Chains A and B, each alone.
Chain A
């Protein structure tokens, strides 16, 4: 393995170090650096930035927030973001819309309803709807902050279910470095290295990661692999510079590149065509941040984030190597923002901000050569008030104005009341919204094979529809069709819960949530051509709700062992269907007797892909003297149904759950079975800075090739890391 590692490091290529220098200009981190003690002492004050946009003590925040610290990520032996998130209560890793890749489900929302940020800035490239979580390495993550419930009042679009903010490492005092290599099943190699240097006013942090895997094949009888071999590289850098006693500058840059080779069998008019393909993903971002403290009470932060994402896929015929299929997608995003924080006193804090977002996409997927752009102007404000020692209130709102769908106002109100030292209550209410996605705006599809029906995104629709009108192909009155505008999807949510210390150190965290979602976007036939073909576009049609309870119980049952149990109960339903069931208008046909019956209230199970019960049990062991660490985690996902996704995995159809002819999920249907994953890890650190870890994920080797292609079988790994620190100057 070490030999192999060296080879790969050489391959890490000059390119990345060059781009490092290009990206490196300058970086000074915004807020005053938190003193991070060595790992022996437990952090007493866990600070979290996502909930208010400023650093606040986690325990005092009035909304449901969670934090995954670096220590825990290391102990779990995780490599990619999905590895970490899948083990957190209330977060469920689900396959993406296209059946492959990973997305995160939070409070029953689909993956594209959770905003994912790195250091407060959005990651782009949701070209199939959700963000591919495996794009993000955990090697440079300081902590992951999770805010549940809508946060559009601070973050605007997409923060309907919540926000996951990945806080990355920053330059530390003195000189520090860490190198790690890991080898595991499927020839998976992960190499990471970082160096942090601070001298006088300048701080530099550089991180590089390379991840490669041979992939895996859950159904070897079919052509191609379930996940084909791929390799990716991440390079990030942060430079901080103290311009003056009150002014800090920081510049952060990131580049990610991934290449994947795959073999794919295409079915074309009953003929099987073998192809091989190459897919490439690239994304870059740069974020200069200037922080100035006018006084102890008044701080202003200015930033200019810009990012670019591009992906390209080519398929060539195996027979003669000629091009068979091409797909590309390019997206750019920039956002200047000014953010001010003013402390009237310890009990009154105001945060205000304003910014502009410019966004554009171009894709062969939409059969559209035009670069499609939109912009948003926004402003937000937030008031934190502590009228009494035991009571805190945060109220705020954000106004967004978008060039396509107009204005949105998203208020939020949260409050926390401390009953006594052992019990506190939280209540939070807010609105969330999600702007229409690229498909809903720019889809441009006419199915020549199936008779010529068309599906147009709302932005493309105007042009194409007027073309058809001009050609005399629209016989009916179409004025109403033209007038109707697409609105963002909107939610109204309430989160209520609290924390109670049942026994000394035995803590129970409870949160109940209800999300009411309106304006859900679906395709709808809006016109007919003279030749009788339907024209579809996107409209705000559906309504849904998700509700449930989440609970976390944690207990350090000896000095070295900590145990925790997490559980989420979830109901997620389509409101229209639920009402139809209630009024007795939904039926099902028993597939065996062919007798049709009326579906009774209570028999409607809910939306597809939602498990009513999910949970986890975790035990962590850590001995500060012997420096042994161990963990055992069990992750459970209850049964759930799948809709008709018209997809296939390696050529095999994915049968939908509905088997009684009503197109909804009810208790009489087939479900994907419940399952539990068992993950184990053991680590030992030496005083010289070396750390060894071995582990196994999915010990029981559970797989479900058709429904859960993103779940590989048992993975065994071993890793070595080396940490050095020349920490002469304490900050």
Chain B
């Protein structure tokens, strides 16, 4: 797992934070928010396929857990804690909320351009609910949530592509906001995936607001 700091957006955001601060002198000085890109978060990838059944082998069935606060993966042994926000396994993304974890994180998908989303929405957040008709706050299935699945005719692979303009906004258990955009589902984010590349490797970028504000500036 590597972190790439986007220097430009850092400077822009720092500048925005500075001007914002200049107007409201009473507010405590917020730390500047930064845009971070995570590459190749392994979401339970398979090591190969069973030559007889075609089923993936080597998968554990466990979710790769991620915390926006630390900006790092959380060991799966901590799944029963509040330490993580989102969990990734294949195309399914869970949020640390009732029926998926012990936490109270909520999430929603908004349409737009990542850099233009200045504030998290006031309401409209959802938790996972296994008993609801839509089980996950980030719905599964092609075109329903964050991805489309194309191809998949007999003998040909399915290609998973994150839908352009879908931003996942997370409100964490301690009332902090993060926005994220998924960029790729394949290892090293190939520009034109054919579906044959190692899959279940997420690349995404996110902005975490460590202060008590919805603003992502």
Contacts and interface: CB of A to CB of B under 8 A. Distances in A.
Interface in A581-596: 585-589, 591-592, 594, 596
Contacts, number: 88
A76 B209 CA distance: 71
B166 to A, nearest CB: 8
Contact of B164 (A267, A270, A588): A588
A648 interface: yes
Contacts of B161: 661
Interface in B150-171: 150-157, 161-165
A661 B151 contact: no
B148 A271 contact: no
Interface string A257-278: 0000000011111111000000
Nearest to B191: A591
Contacts of A655: 151, 194
A594 B113 contact: no
A653 B151 contact: yes
Contact of A269 (B53, B113, B183): B53
A656 interface: yes
Given A270-B54, A587-B165, A646 B153 contact: yes
Given A594-B183, A653-B151, A662 B191 contact: no
A265 B148 CA distance: 27
A270 B48 CA distance: 12
A406 interface: no
B181 interface: yes
Interface in B107-150: 111-114, 133, 135, 143, 148, 150
Contacts of A74: none
Interface in A623-639: none
Contact of A652 (B114, B148, B156): B156
Given A652-B156, A661-B163, A591 B192 contact: yes
A654 B162 CA distance: 20
A644 interface: yes
A103 to B, nearest CB: 20
Nearest to A656: B150
Nearest to A585: B111
Interface in B18-66: 49-55
A689 interface: no
A462 interface: no
B73 interface: no
Nearest to B150: A644
B189 interface: yes
A477 B133 CA distance: 13
Given A532-B135, A662-B165, A587 B192 contact: no
Nearest to A670: B192
Contacts of B49: 270
Nearest to A529: B133
A703 to B, nearest CB: 21
B97 interface: no
Contacts of B50: 270
Contacts of A598: 113, 165
A653 B157 contact: yes
Given A597-B113, A651-B155, A663-B148, A271 B52 contact: yes
A88 B152 CA distance: 36
A676 B123 CA distance: 56
Interface string A142-174: 000000000000000000000000000000000
A693 interface: no
B184 interface: yes
Given A661-B164, A663-B143, A267 B155 contact: yes
A509 to B, nearest CB: 41
A660 interface: yes
A656 B113 CA distance: 24
A490 B27 CA distance: 60
A648 B195 CA distance: 14
Interface of A: 265-272, 476, 528, 532, 585-589, 591-592, 594, 596-598, 644, 646-648, 651-656, 658-663
Q: When A and B form their complex, which 9 residue pairs have the shortest distance between CB atoms, in order from nearest? A: A270-B54, A587-B165, A267-B155, A653-B156, A589-B164, A591-B191, A644-B150, A587-B164, A648-B153
27 contacts: A265-B155, A267-B154, A269-B52, A269-B53, A269-B55, A270-B50, A270-B51, A270-B52, A270-B54, A271-B54, A586-B165, A587-B111, A587-B112, A587-B113, A588-B164, A589-B162, A596-B113, A596-B181, A644-B150, A644-B151, A646-B153, A648-B154, A653-B194, A654-B153, A661-B163, A662-B165, A663-B143
Given A655-B151, A663-B148, 9 more contacts: A265-B155, A270-B53, A532-B135, A596-B165, A598-B165, A648-B154, A653-B151, A661-B148, A661-B161
